[in-house]
Chains A and B, each alone.
Chain A
């Protein structure tokens, strides 16, 4: 099947998505959670009746002078998020929640901006390191395939596909953050890095087949690429399907705690599979034409 013939469509589609993501990120930005910005979070489960949110909000508004969010979750829980608070403020908030027997504190998190700042730095560092190592690795793994495209270019194509995946995932989360209040916390960053690994995994499967056909065959580069893609597309699809099956089951049946983490993985893996076949390989072809 002549995959490469429709390269223009793939690129246009991806560029649209990328533009959309860039716009979404500039306009809305990612909703940074307390892991990175510091703050306090309460997850409260009411045993019987949950009090009126409007009343709670008023009470808390009087205690906290700044912004806060109060979300209802399910039938009996609420999630309360705010900036750093003093011990007295915390005490007052606890009192305003109701009598001690009416509820239980499922989770309470307090993170100072110091830690938040450090986490931001270490996450950024991890992502940069990952990009560097992956590019180096791909270039090394394909060092013997220098014709008609240098091994370094393989690394570049893989890298561009990766940027594509990460950027669009972030763009989607900018939308989710704006409309569904989904926050970016440490798990999101971990998922992002996992996507990096998985997407490259997939891209290498494709490149590996290209390399093999290149060695064995005397055909034109374009035909070799198309052949490789046709041979690969099913297995690439299937490997993603099995991983996605597992991820979907966690998303629907696993606890709420993991759901946004898993959603990130799902989006990223779908993008990763798409980009290995429809972005990375056509790029290799384009690189081969520029001589």
Chain B
């Protein structure tokens, strides 16, 4: 007997404490209670409640060989992450997804004020390439393809500019013509600004990954003392001379690290570093799904859901107490426990709360009561059919049989809804998953709260004098 009372008091205390844990901070503030820091952890809100952007890109791997596909797609992910990080989003999500044969990239950015801006920024595919100068012969080929009038015009202009006699062959020195190489932005790990030790001149330090380092070494060896051009979106950005400060006849830059220097103003250097970092998208992408939600819609959704939830809950409380009286009251207590447990679970496990998740949660409130209703209806039958002996004993016995008999119906019924939740969770995504998750967890926990907590309360209180008033226990 004593053990049960201790348990009851324990449960009540947990409910009250849990309440403070779960109540949004501002309410706790009104009651002037000091909630310890770690308990003030906020709920993790989904995109539709916080506002934000959800983007789904389809990657076009048709131009890339099978062996390179994995690494290309991962490179794509890394670059997207690099673009997303400076936006100041708390927890940006950049994920690869596979749907059948399709590789996709999902980007989720929560809490953004103006979603429209962001889509523009990270979307831009910049094509970063390092190109090497064409050889003399190659350049002549190109020049020979240009119509005669153009060539002559160019020679005239150059003669005026330089004051020298220019021949067609000389054009090769003045016209920058480059060939594409294998070294593209995908191998670039990072670019950042450095300052020359002595002159405090801004420079751009670049670093390649291990594959890129090898390619870079080859390229620099081949093009020692020649320009290595940096092209972004087919525009020439910069063409620093390889090994300009090194007087050796031959050489190369190994190790994948190099510094681009030479008369940069700070702005120019910053711009170059930024451009390099924006990198190349190694795989062309197409936006196939986008959703952006303004922050005010999210706030309104939350407020309205809370109100709806509270009203719904109140209606259920009223119903239970009017119909099932004292037992109904006990069921409500266990319902409170259920809510507290569920919300605490969401907080602790940082489960993302979405609008559909809230819907699932509120729905599970209605269904949580169902188990109790089944039990109470059973109880009514048991009491009406039972022999009239000592009130405390018979009620307790009736309660026991009510719980055990109702269990199969509760179990079977809830199991099918659970099967549906599992199917929904596995097959669907986004909206549906959130709904299925909260509904499923809700059903499991509500079974526990109905079978265990309500039973605890009922059994214990049935052992008291209250058992004499049979009419308050059943309808």
A-to-B contact residues, CB < 8 Å = 43, 45, 104-112, 114-115, 118, 122-123, 125-126, 129-130, 133-134, 137-138, 141, 186-187, 189-190, 193-194, 196-198, 200-202, 204-205, 208-209, 231, 234-235, 238-239, 241-250, 252-255, 257-258, 261-262, 265
Contacts and interface: CB of A to CB of B under 8 A. Distances in A.
Closest 4 CB pairs of A and B: A197-B420, A243-B366, A246-B366, A197-B417
B288 A242 contact: no
A130 B316 contact: no
16 contacts: A105-B294, A114-B58, A126-B423, A138-B416, A187-B432, A190-B435, A193-B423, A198-B417, A201-B416, A204-B412, A235-B373, A239-B374, A242-B370, A245-B366, A253-B304, A257-B48
A291 B370 CA distance: 36
Contacts of A252: 308
A115 B291 CA distance: 13
A245 B316 contact: yes
A169 to B, nearest CB: 15
Nearest to A244: B366
A130 B431 contact: no
A242 B366 contact: yes
The secondary-structure label for the interface of chain A is: helix
Contacts of A105: 115-116, 292, 294
B319 A137 contact: no
Contacts of B315: 245-246, 249
B427 A122 contact: yes
Contact of A187 (B286, B356, B409): B356
Given A235-B373, A242-B316, A129 B365 contact: no
The secondary-structure label for the interface of chain B is: helix
Given A112-B288, A205-B409, A242-B316, A126 B424 contact: yes
Given A134-B416, A250-B312, A190 B431 contact: yes
Nearest to A205: B409
A229 to B, nearest CB: 14
Interface residues of B, number: 68
A246 B416 CA distance: 21
Give the most central of B292, B301, B427, B435: most A CB within 10 Å. B427
A201 B417 contact: yes
A215 B409 CA distance: 15
A254 B355 CA distance: 10
B427 A129 contact: yes
B84 to A, nearest CB: 19
Give the most central of A45, A235, A262: most B CB within 10 Å. A235
A198 B364 CA distance: 11
Contacts of A137: 415-416, 419
